[in-house]
Amino acid sequence: MNKQDTIGDFIYEDWRLIETQFNPEQINVRETIFTIGNGYLGTRGCFEEGYTRGLPATFIHGVYDDVPVVYTELANCPDWLPLVVTINGDRFRLDQGEVLQYKRQLDLRHGLLSRWVRWRSPKNKIIDIHFERFTSLADEHILGQRCHLTSYDGDALIEFQASINGYAENQGFNHWERIDQGKTDQGIWLQSRTRSTRIEIGMAAKMTISGTEASVQINTVPGYPSISTTFLVTAQQTVTVENIVTVFTSRETKTPVIAAHEKLVDIADYTTLFTDNQKAWDQVWQTSDIVIEGDATAAFAVRYNLFQLLIAAPRHDDQVSIAAKTLSGFGYRGHIFWDTEIFILPFFTYNQPDVARNLLSYRYHTIAGARRKAAHYGFKGAMYPWESADTGDEVTPRWSLPDDYYGEDVRIWCRDREIHNSADIAYAVCHYWQATGDDEWMRDYGAEMILDTAIFWGSRVEFNPQYDRYEIRDVIGADEYHEFVHNNTFTNRMVQWHLEQALQVCAWLQQNFPERAAELTQKLQLTPEIESYWQDIINKIWILYDPSTGLIEQFEGFFQLKDINLADYEPRHQSIQAILGMEGTNHTQVLKQPDVLMLLYLMRTSAEFPYDQKVLATNWDYYAPRTDITYGSSLAPAIHGILASDLGKSTIAYKRFMQAAMVDLEDHRGNTQDGIHGASAGGVWQAVVFGFGGIQFTENGPVSNPHLPPGWSRLKFQLHWRGEWYKFDLTGEKEGTRGDNQSPDIRGFIFDLDGVLTDTAEYHYLAWQKLADEEGLPFNREANEALRGISRRASLMLIIGDMTYSEDQIQEMMARKNRYYVELIKNITPKDLLPGAIALLDELRQAGIKIAIGSASKNAQSVIEKLGIADQVDAIADGYSVQQPKPAPDLFLYAAHQLGLNPQQCVVVEDAGAGVEAALAGGMWAIGIGPPERVGKAHIVLPNLAGVTWKDLQSQLSKKV
């Protein structure tokens, strides 16, 4: 059901994030929030025209380059966004002139970012500008931009320029050296190369213009090739400029510029490309969507977090992985942490296993770097880096540089001491294998990773002969507020678990793939003695667990540290470490993020030691109050939410879940400008599915023991398990039904505008009549009836009949008719709504039915605003939306896509025969308004909407099933 919630200047809907006003102070945060991508690249939501303090960035997976201090980082690639619009000599910018109207919208369903601005220039000229952009999910090398420009109040000279900016920087550091650039019949191109890693990039672009006659010029300023055009527009005339960009790097092809050229030559038009993108997104959401009913904010927030994971997911590349800040910001320099395997991977494992396989294969392809790290520290096997990039070598900065000129550099010990991630990766490998049954991948890749990291653990543990036990000393646990601790329980138990799995993998290989077992035995120098040694470690590693109480000590001596009551430090707006200092937290029982509780969560999946309900309750009561849950780490809230659900603490579970779900949308931690919190996004999915959905995995498949939050009336999702899809609809209803009756599953209404909601048909007739009189063409009201529901061009063709006109004359007549029409509708008000229209719209909204406008008119947006029903409408499909007019179904299918619905879930209300035909051709329900001889093919025929109710329509449609 379509619901919306408004918080601040954001409106959250089922599939759309709407920003209602521009806030310069939030510029960098919103750039992150409005990021789009396609799994190959991500582009921050920066303004096309630029803005002071803006941080424009496009990151491409795997395009790393060296940088001082932090070793390597994802290079900010040449910027494909710059569009310069100049009106009568004034350059459009939001920091000059006057913004009269503003709206920005992110359509999660299809990855479309749009912005509408009505702007008064310094010379007092008003223009409407509608930007939109997408990065194609159907073809990851294609990027699209479109800009509609409408002069609001008279003639205007518009200059328009689209560019590729080769001078993109990583906050002051430019990774690119220009190789070449130029122009072609298609447009422009740029070739650059990273300074150290020598990765080449090729980008090409072309521009098309519609709505006016205009030529284009090419400017090849070094490093900044541009396409520009100049044209004159009259009042209410709309000109559309489309810019298509192609991009390749030498990671995919030896000749990226040639590849970009060839792609651009063969490319389709913007509308076709976006339609292909829509279809690709529809396919992804078909398995990945989560439906929540009864909580509009949560419903949107979950989809938003899933969207951020999906646009960062490499679908065609197993040499890369998802960074902690995805592809959305400069934070952590594009480095990969354990966040990916533990927090992000489960979503893909159970929804898109091919992507999960790619992410894990990245770790296999970088295992040489892990081996180099182990050797550097004097250990054997593979020791995965805390922060990883392209080679798998350790890229965690050794020092953190202070903001204070006189501050001391801070040593970052995670690179040396936080070692649990080697076990975390093994954990992810095993759970992927368990979920998919992908024996081939496990044989060829996963087994070697598990075994070589097990060899590392064998060389890292220390035997304490005094107590006849194995220990792991001088580590940093998952908590991270405590450095150089001994026997961190999370680390020790994960190592024990890891070695258990390694022995099982050895046995599995020997039984099922003896040749591969022999190969790895020789390559890794495995011996029976090593396996016996692993078993001895399993038996004797020290786990700080008190079976009499169930309490687990986080590490040796933790209980002797100074206790803390976090409530004593409220209110605060920074982490407890910022307040106490690093040494202060080192000596205090305060946690940055779950450690013991994180261990219990990971063991929860198969109820392995030390997880059980009593142990969980005991350790929750001890550790949850000591966790800096608000300002410590974004990894914490989702995990706390799941465990609180297990304990029946529904209020705190929901609070922690929403804290995670809104971490970026509401910038809870004040650092969203650095990029999306990818681990938190993955944790949100786990909180919904494993927490509220109560999913557990058995040999017979996943089962649910749900505990939905108060107010949630429905939770619906599906999981992929061992080759089959399991669908969960936690209302208890059968899949695809909505109750006991046999009514069709109607979730959306698509209204034609003219003749249905208002009578602008009369204005169209008067405008056509004036044009016909001027041209000496025969035309009357009877002839006007044939124009109902069809496009402006098709209408003109019917009027001119056999008369011969040039294309220029046809374009001029259409523009002239539109000017007459726009002048006539200037005085439309809500009083012009037809009887029954507003009552039906209100009733549908209250019933949770989505509403779209499906009109061939290119002035639909303006008419809707004048009628005062803009807030009642969820989507608009108009003359700009599709190429094929009614009776083709394209317009209504586009509207259904915008609503996020299947055609059979939509009802079209039309007053034209062509419109009814279009609805039926699209597989939709049709209600005809008017005489049966015109709309008689519809499922229901009504004279008008007066007195019509949703209940009556439901009843009549049920009889048509």
Residues acting as catalytic residues:
480
Select from 938, 960, 758, 952 the least CA-distant residue to 853: 758
Report the Cα 620 to chain-centroid distance in Å: 33
- Write the DSSP assignment of 693-737 as a string of letters: S-EEEETTEEEE---PPTT--EEEEEEEETTEEEEEETTSPPTT-
Q: How many Å apart are CA 555 and CA 485, to the nearest integer?
A: 7
Kindly state the tokens that stand for 906. 């939509």
d(CA 163, CA 224): 6
Q: Which residues of 744-774 are buried (b: 16+ CB within 10 A; e: fewer)?
A: bebbbbbbbbbbbbbbbbebbbebbbbbbee
Question: Cα–Cα distance between 751 and 876 in angstroms, integer?
Answer: 10
Sign for the CA dihedral angle at 937, 941, 943, 946 comes to negative
Report the C-alpha gap between 293 and 153 in whole angstroms.
Answer: 44
The alpha carbon of 245 is separated from its chain's Cα centroid by a whole number of angstroms, namely: 21
And the tokens for 954? Answer: 């439901």
* Structure-token pair, residue 597: 């509780």
Residue 475 DSSP label: B
Measured at the alpha carbon of residue 214, what is the angle toward residues 48 and 100, in degrees to the nearest 5? 40
Spatial separation of the C-alpha atoms in residues 716 and 513, rounded to whole Å = 40
Task: Look at strands 83-87 and 156-163 and give their pairing.
Answer: antiparallel
- Residue 202 in contact with residue 189, Cβ under 8 Å? yes
- Token pair 């201090």 is found at 69
Q: How far is CA 199 from CA 29, 192, 195, 543, in A?
A: 30, 8, 8, 47
The residue assigned the tokens 């209204």 is 751
Q: Which of 292, 285, 242 is nearest to 267 (CA)?
A: 242
**CA distance linking residue 642 with residue 648, whole number of Å:** 10
Judge whether 676 and 329 are in contact, CB under 8 Å. yes
Element (H, E) at 367: helix 367-376
Which candidate, 381, 357, 358, places its Cα nearest to that of 370?
Answer: 381
Buried b (16+ CB within 10 A) or exposed e, 610-624: bbeeebbbbbbebbb
Helix pair angle (489-512, 528-540), 10° resolution: 150
Q: How far is Cα 204 from Cα 625, in angstroms, rounded to an integer?
A: 55
Distance (Å, whole) CA 684 – CA 654: 11
Question: What phi-psi label fits residue 228: left (phi over 0), alpha (psi between -120 and 50 degrees) or beta?
Answer: beta
Q: Which residues pair with 220 in a beta bridge?
A: 225
Q: Which two tokens stand for residue 491?
A: 């680390």
In this structure, the dihedral spanned by the alpha carbons of residues 44, 50, 51 and 53, taken in order and rounded to 10 degrees, is 60
Q: Are 768 and 817 in contact (CB under 8 A)?
A: yes
Angle between helices 353-365 and 421-436 (to 10 degrees): 140
Longest dimension (CA), the chain: 109
